[in-house]
Amino acid sequence: MTTPLAGLTVLDFGQVYQGPYATLLMAKAGADVIKIEPPEGEPLRRRAIAAGGETTLPMAMLNANKRAVTLNLKSGAGKDLLKRMVARADVLLENFAPGTLDSLGVGYDVLRAVNPRLVYATGTGFGISGPDRDNLAMDFTIQAASGIMSVTGDPDGPPMKAGPALVDFMGGIHLYAAVMTALLQRTATGEGQLVEVAMQEVVYPTLASSYDYHLRTGQAPPRAGNRQAGLASAPYNAFQTRDGWVAIHVLTEAHWQNLLRAMGRTDLLDDPRFASNPARTANMAATEALVTAWTLGLSRQEVVAAAKRHRIPAAPVRNAVEVMNDPHMHQRGMLERIDHPALGPIIVPNSPLRLHGADRVVPVPSPSLGQHNQEVYGDWLGLGAEGVAALRQAGAI
Q: How far apart, in whole angstroms, are the C-alpha atoms of residue 142 and residue 147?
A: 8
Q: How far apart, in whole angstroms, are the C-alpha atoms of residue 15 and residue 101?
A: 14
Q: How far apart, in whole angstroms, are the C-alpha atoms of residue 360 and residue 34?
A: 20
Task: Dump strand ranges (E) for 71-140.
Answer: 91-94, 119-124
What helix, strand, coil percent values describe the chain, rounded to 5?
45, 15, 45
Q: Is 168 a catalytic residue?
A: yes
User: Are the C-beta atoms of residues 211 and 198 closer than 8 Å to each other?
Assistant: no
Beta carbons within 8 Å of 312's beta carbon, 6+ residues apart: 248, 250, 255, 258, 259, 262, 306
Q: Which helix (H) or strand (E) holds 35?
A: strand 32-37
Chain Cα centroid distance, residue 88: 28
Active-site residue identified among 109, 154, 168, 270: 168
3-state secondary structure of 344: strand
Nearest to 145, CA basis, from 156, 131, 155: 131
3-state secondary structure of 341: coil
Q: How far apart, in whole angstroms, are the C-alpha atoms of residue 195 and residue 138?
A: 20
Q: 9-23 in b/e burial notation, b at 16+ Cβ within 10 A?
A: bbbbbbbbbbbbbbb
Q: How far apart, in whole angstroms, are the C-alpha atoms of residue 365 and residue 345?
A: 11
Q: How far apart, in whole angstroms, are the C-alpha atoms of residue 46 and residue 23?
A: 20
Distances (CA, A) of 73 to 77, 84, 103, 139, 195: 8, 13, 11, 26, 22
3-state secondary structure of 236: strand
Nearest to 381, CA basis, from 81, 28, 43: 81
Which residues are identified as catalytic?
168
